[in-house]
Structure 1
Amino acid sequence: MKHGINQRKLGRMPAHRIALLRNLVSALLHHETIKTTLPKAKEAARMAEKIITLGKKGTNPSRSKAMAYLMPPHNSPSPIASSSSSSSSLLEAENDDEHFVPPKSLLPKLFDELSLRYAERPGGYTRIHKFGRRQGDNAPHAIVTLVDGPRDLKFEMLAREVGKSSLDLLEQKGGKLEEVGEGWEGLKPRTRLQVEKVLKYKSEGERREFKVKAKEFADYIQAEESAYGGVRSPNVSPDTPAYRRPGMNTPKTGRLLHAGERLSGVSTHTTGLGLARGALARTPRGRQNVDKSPRFWGQARLPEGVSAEVV
């Protein structure tokens, strides 16, 4: 009979392992996106599912269990409040976006916001994205996110995939992206299945947002092609196979781009790696209203109050 195989040991003693998982689960519920190693991600996602289930129950025993598991301790003040000697320094720390202020309690978010968000979902509140390997020990990295949240990576990346795949359908039928029905005709079976899974528990407003994101990315691909069409030198051979010939999703002039490659002047946030990094980063102080839309070659962001005619 085998014992002690219900969870990974993670190379730690029981007390250290329990404290690690408590910290990871609390960080996941607070930030809704964390990056860690793959074994830790799987264990943290498993425990987060149980904690969210306690939040959906909403009973006093479930509240007591959640209070005993989540960190920081809910009866103690914030670490910044206990270490700050003056109210001015505390106010400055709270207004600084680069300074992390931990919440005093995660119970309001768990029993109010998350319980309402997942009221109709029977399970599967977390999603794990593999994120390469860590430099140094080559440990596998992963990103754990809460589904249907504001930082859901799959919602954004799948919308871009739908926008890119819809260009082929538009080229064949000559229609508009708004005319593509809710069945998502023209998509690959696997992509259509993923769209149905992502939008299964979404509201009508979120479904419209998904289609808007897909259309914006489709427009971006077309604008990028027209903007860079004359910059790249044409070297497409006439012996190129049919599936490699220029079309809606491939450049009409110049060489074919490889996976992960970007053109000069194109922001890295358009790639999957840049998207994941941007979701994990915090906005620096004073840059909340900065226009982050991508710029094409030859364009630049002008300072506030300076017009193009002056430059």
Structure 2
Amino acid sequence: MPKPTKGARLGGSAAHEKLLLANLAKALFEHGRITTTEAKARRLRPYAERLVTKAKKGDLHNRRQVLQVITDKSVVHTLFTEIGPRYENRPGGYTRITKIGNRRGDNAPMAVIELVEALTVAQEATGEAEAATKRAAKDAEVAAEAKVDTTKADEAPAEESKDA
């Protein structure tokens, strides 16, 4: 006879936890970042990362498995066309949990769970270009200071005569 897994479950029953995690994952993929309790965020993280890994594979079988969990086709489409390819070269760690303090009403510890922005090739190239621009500006500034120092040394101030 099948028995449910032992241990605490979010929301009481296993069915409620399953629906709760599916709805949290849907909101995370829809908005990119959600604010929830720390316990829910910790339970959501491996669940969402498993779905992103399925989206990275991108085949029909994995799409149907994700559709069994997240029933909103537009969110699944976004997951497979935008989010999955974004993490193509990343071997895991697609989400980040940041603690934000306690909730005002019941003092529950809160956290923000968000999708980590993966650097694309264009963003990496932009970052390298910005770094090169900063280096060039710094070199130009150092050269200008050196030039100013030499011109000051060449031009000695003229002595003023006192006519009284």
Q: Which runs of 5+ in 2 are unaligned?
A: 134-164
Q: Is the 8 A contact 1:23 1:71 kept in 2?
A: no
Residue 146 of structure 2: aligned partner: none
Looking at structure 2, the residues matched to 69 and 209 of structure 1 have their Cα atoms a distance apart, in angstroms, of: 42
Q: Which has the higher helix share?
A: 2
SS in 2 for 1:106: helix
Higher strand share: 2
TM-score by length of 2: 0.69
Kindly indicate whether the alpha-carbon contact (under 8 Å) linking 1:8 and 1:39 is maintained by their aligned counterparts in 2. Answer: no
Cα deviation for residue 204 of structure 1 reads: 2.0
Contact 1:8–1:43 (CA under 8 A) maintained in structure 2: no
Paired position in structure 1 for 2:126: 205
Shift of 1:45: 1.6
Distance 1:49 1:132 in 2: 24
Amino acid in the other structure paired with 2:125: E
What SS is found at the alignment partner of 2:34?
strand
Higher radius of gyration, 1 or 2: 2
Alignment pair present for 1:53 and 2:44: no
* More relative contact order, 1 or 2 (CA 8 Å, 6+ apart): 2
**In the superposition, relative to structure 1, how do residues 71 and 27 fare at CA in structure 2: closer, same or farther (>3 Å)?**
farther
2 CA distance for matches of 1:29 and 1:18? 17
CA distance in 2, matches of 1:21, 1:210: 41
* Aligned residue pairs, count: 128
Aligned partners of 2:68 and 2:37: how far apart in 1?
A: 25
Assess if the C-alpha contact under 8 Å between 2:10 and 2:16 holds in 1: no
Q: Deviations over 1:209-229 (max 9, x none)?
A: 7999xxxxxxxxxxxxxxxxx
Structure 1-normalised TM-score?
0.38
Distance apart, 1:4 and its partner CA: 2.5
Aligned-residue offset at 1:59: 1.5
Which stretches of structure 1, 4 residues or more, deviate above 4 A after TM superposition?
A: 206-212
- Which residue is 1:222 aligned to? none
User: Counterparts of 1:29 and 1:56 in 2: how far apart (Å)?
Assistant: 14
- Backbone CA RMSD of aligned residues: 2.7
The corresponding residue for 1:4 is 5
1:109 equivalent in structure 2: 78
1:68 aligned partner, one-letter code: Q
